[in-house]
Chains A and B, each alone.
Chain A
Amino acid sequence: EPEVTQTPSHQVTQMGQEVILRCVPISNHLYFYWYRQILGQKVEFLVSFYNNEISEKSEIFDDQFSVERPDGSNFTLKIRSTKLEDSAMYFCASSDPLLAGTDNEQFFGPGTRLTVL
């Protein structure tokens, strides 16, 4: 069964460093998403991406964040200058609105745990 994959599973970085989190969405999906979950808190929406542009973003997704689909398979989240409060589990998801019988169901990856020291 196709699945969303994410790398790395755990990333440790120093405050102020740039990080790139990588995701490979399900191959025929058209919408891509990033969510995050700070330890002990809710899963929060960051951004959705469709047709090579951001379709929706939250207040969390400020100028320090960017997303890119550099080729036909990867979807990346870049944090330019990490802060301690960026430490969280980051989930990638993808969906296909044309998939019959579903409600544009979002399929989630296993997450990347980002630790900022």
Chain B
Amino acid sequence: GEDVEQSLFLSVREGDSSVINCTYTDSSSTYLYWYKQEPGAGLQLLTYIFSNMDMKQDQRLTVLLNKKDKHLSLRIADTQTGDSAIYFCAEKTGGGNKLTFGTGTQLKVEL
């Protein structure tokens, strides 16, 4: 079955790059996503990548996908205090719309 794993915490200094990692087990993943959750808010989609791509860049965000190792990463350049949140990796597999989420990585940005 599907399983998605992430490290629980990451702390970076403001202005540095953050790299949040995720591994997944289902090789039939079609899309992989990064969601952000700020306190008291819902899950906000940041970006997604189709499984036949290996990189996607969107302003400060870079997503890298290593399909062979089933590893996904999100790089945030020039991390700001407003980036402090929980970041969830998620995958969509098969023909349905069900998302399988990781546990989330709490990113803390220090001054």
Residues of chain A touching chain B, judged by Cβ–Cβ distance below 8 Å, are 4, 31, 33, 35, 41-45, 48, 55-56, 58, 91, 93, 95, 103-111
Question: Which residue in chain A gives the minimum CB-CB distance to B95?
Answer: A56
Count how many pairs of residues, one from A and one from B, have CB atoms less than 8 Å apart in the complex.
55
Residues of chain B touching chain A, judged by Cβ–Cβ distance below 8 Å, are 4, 31, 35, 40-45, 48, 50, 88, 90, 92, 96-104
Is the pair A33, B97 in contact by a Cβ cutoff of 8 Å? yes
A68 CA to B104 CA in the complex, in Å?
29
Is the pair B97, A56 in contact by a Cβ cutoff of 8 Å? yes
Is the pair B43, A43 in contact by a Cβ cutoff of 8 Å? yes
Smallest distance from the beta carbon of B83 to chain A beta carbons, Å? 19
Is the pair A106, B102 in contact by a Cβ cutoff of 8 Å? no
Is the pair A56, B98 in contact by a Cβ cutoff of 8 Å? yes
Contact (A106, B97) CB under 8 Å given A41-B103, A42-B102, A42-B103: yes
A106 CA to B101 CA in the complex, in Å?
13
Contact (A111, B42) CB under 8 Å given A42-B102, A42-B103, A43-B88: yes
Partner of B101, one of A33, A42, A58: A42
Is the pair B42, A108 in contact by a Cβ cutoff of 8 Å? yes
Give the chain A neighbours of B4 by CB distance below 8 A.
Answer: 42
Is the pair A31, B41 in contact by a Cβ cutoff of 8 Å? no
Known: A43-B101, A48-B96. 5 other contacts (CB 8 A): A43-B104, A44-B101, A45-B99, A103-B92, A108-B43
